[in-house]
Amino acid sequence: MSLRGNWNGAEKLGHQLPEAEGAGHRRYAKAWELHKLGVPVMSPNGWPDPALTDAALDGMLAAEMGRRAKLYQAFVRAGSATIFRALGVQILAGDDSVYTIGNHDPLAQTNSSRPLGLLAGAEAMVTDGLQVRSHGRAMFLPLALTALSVKTTADAAVVFPDGTVHARALHGNHEICKAQKQAARFNALAGAAAPGTTEMGAGHVTRLQNLQELWEAGLLSQQEYDTRRAEIIASF
């Protein structure tokens, strides 16, 4: 090959390398943006999954932003939500699903919450952090109230019928107590939303609320609360 041919080849390669490097940076930027939005696209080595093309990343970004915009509108229509901050979940008014507590941004008109599962059949609990698996589903061991005198860390967990588990670390007895109270309230709502309880009347709601207030005031033991709650739900 002539000297001119070698020079032309080197010049062409010199143009291709920056272009390839620029394309790599753009691809990484898209993947990193998705990663910040909570969409898993990164490999264990910290780089974008090599199976994801530029077009795929663009599509995933558009889909995620569309999801957030749609959820924002759902939150606006609902008007209010019951937030269980210690459990890390919330329930929209008139909705039968449980969501994480995300950022509601009126300026961008997006909501970063994510659906976790149906309220009916879900169960919230405060655990001692020990986790065992049975039949492919995660199960947790509840933390007894009497253990609070020595327990300063625990986990709040919401378990869904399909085996999905949403867990949140708790630190300090105050936060653990708050989570236990919220778990009892959450379970009352989940029980009321269970199949066969859709005809629940206002009287049942009042009884559940009164029972919850008695338990939170310390006038009922956990066993008494669970027994009476089960009796109310069974009477629907």
Transcribe 134-189 into DSSP letters.
ETTEEEEEEPPGGGGGT--EEEEEEE-TTS-EEEEEEESHHHHHHHHHHHHHHHHH
For the chain, what are the domain ranges?
Answer: 123-234
pLDDT at 130: 46
pLDDT score, position 183: 92
| Amino acid identity, position 83 | I
> Is there a contact between 102 and 173 (Cβ–Cβ < 8 Å)?
no
Whole-number Å distance between alpha carbons of 234 and 231: 5
**Tens of pLDDT, residues 123-177:** 998 887 544 333 344 445 565 544 555 567 888 999 988 888 899 998 888 898 8
Question: Which stretches of the chain score pLDDT less than 50?
Answer: 1, 3, 5, 7, 10, 13-17, 20, 130-139, 145-146, 197-198, 200, 202
- Alpha helix stretches (DSSP H) within 37-150: 54-78
Distance of alpha carbon 236 from alpha carbon 192, whole angstroms:
9
Evaluate if pTM is beyond 0.85: no
Give the tens place of pLDDT for each residue, 86-97. 999 999 888 888
**pLDDT on residue 29:** 83
pLDDT of residue 111: 92
35 CB-contact burial (10 Å; exposed 0-12 / middle 13-18 / buried 19+): middle
List the one residue out of 23, 109, 46, 126 whose CA is nearest residue 72: 109
